[in-house]
Amino acid sequence: MKNDNSHPNEENGDFLNIASVKEDWGGDGKGRMNLSGRRTAISPEYVPRKYQFFDTNNVPDEQGWRIQGMPDYVKSGSRRLLTWHDCGASTSRVILPSDFVAPSGIFTADLELFVLKGVIQIGEWRLNKHCYSFIPAGVKVGNWQVLGDEDVEILWMENGNAHYNNLENNHPDARLNEFIPVLDSKLIPWGKTDTVQFEVSKKKYLRKDANGGGVWLLAILPHYDGKYPMIQSYNEESYGLVGYCDMGDYHFTKDHFGYCPSFVTSPWHRTDDGGLFFVRIDRDLSKVATVLSYANDY
């Protein structure tokens, strides 16, 4: 599945006014994450209220992948497409080669990056392992270059149809106040989680969106036992970085991915050894009844 959807406003440079998808839990789309109604690598059609966990290493590796709009001389990379929406939003595991260089420019949709391996420089900022960046649509970023002899591997999250334009200036309506050039997660202190189910776990916020959701790292401590399944009244994507968490009968570990649509009943969580996970959610979990323990026959 390629993200070749376009919108007539993009041709006129009016791409910032494209409406976001409304969240299927009742949100108005102002968070712009577009996590509702996604298809996944293991389900080519959207399945409401059904969680999907899978090993990203088993997803076909698309060679010759290119950032849409980049000049022909820019080296291609590869990607494993994990989730996508008809609006063009997608989440992928992308590898850019060690000799990758690209010119400065802007994207036509919000782009989020989380580095899994290697080092990449974007403009004057360096992104190492576990660094995060949020580039709002229309914000100009500098030249790109992979540093060192190692390929860089990135969780590449397009929140719309993200074409690259080699423009010299920010778009006049670009949301510069939301721009996160680089955030080194290792320098952020751990804080408390928002839900009773994970009160003994730790959380590092990387970004909050306009709906109160956002992006964070979740550290589930050893000997965690959630005891009950959970009803999740929001959309979630998660990626395993270190360790594991058993979810029902599924062993969710490094490089495994989860997509949980709104109002899914997620299985009982438990781990002896703990784990670290990258998480994206489109709703404020501190609000009452967004996460509910559910004692059924699991």
* Domain 8-184 in CATH 3.40.50.970: no
- Identify the architecture of domain 187-293 in CATH: Sandwich (2.60)
pLDDT value for 9: 42
Longest dimension (CA), the chain: 59
**Distance separating alpha carbons of residues 81 and 87, to the nearest angstrom:** 15
pLDDT value for 17: 64
Torsion of CA 146, 60, 263, 241, to 10 degrees: -40
Do residues 156 and 94 touch, judged by C-beta distance below 8 A?
yes
Alpha carbons within 13 angstroms on the beta-carbon side of residue 100 total 26
Give SS3 for 54: strand
Give SS3 for 211: coil
Do residues 260 and 267 touch, judged by C-beta distance below 8 A?
no
Do residues 33 and 213 touch, judged by C-beta distance below 8 A?
yes
Judged on CB neighbours under 10 Å (0-12, 13-18, 19+), 120 is buried
Domain ranges of the chain: 8-184, 187-293
Beta bridge partners of 256: 55
The sign of the CA dihedral 33, 37, 38, 42 is: positive
**Distance separating alpha carbons of residues 216 and 17, to the nearest angstrom:** 27
The contacts of residue 26 (CB under 8 Å, 6+ apart) are: none
Token pair 């109604």 is found at: 37
Provide φ and ψ at 242, rounded to 5°. -150, 145
**Distance separating alpha carbons of residues 294 and 229, to the nearest angstrom:** 5
pLDDT value for 184: 98
Q: Do the domains 187-293 and 8-184 match in fold?
A: yes
pLDDT value for 13: 52
- Mean pLDDT, contiguous 10-residue spans, the chain (298 residues): 40 62 92 96 94 98 94 95 95 97 95 98 97 96 96 97 89 94 96 84 94 94 93 96 97 98 94 97 91 74
The contacts of residue 177 (CB under 8 Å, 6+ apart) are: none
pLDDT value for 1: 37
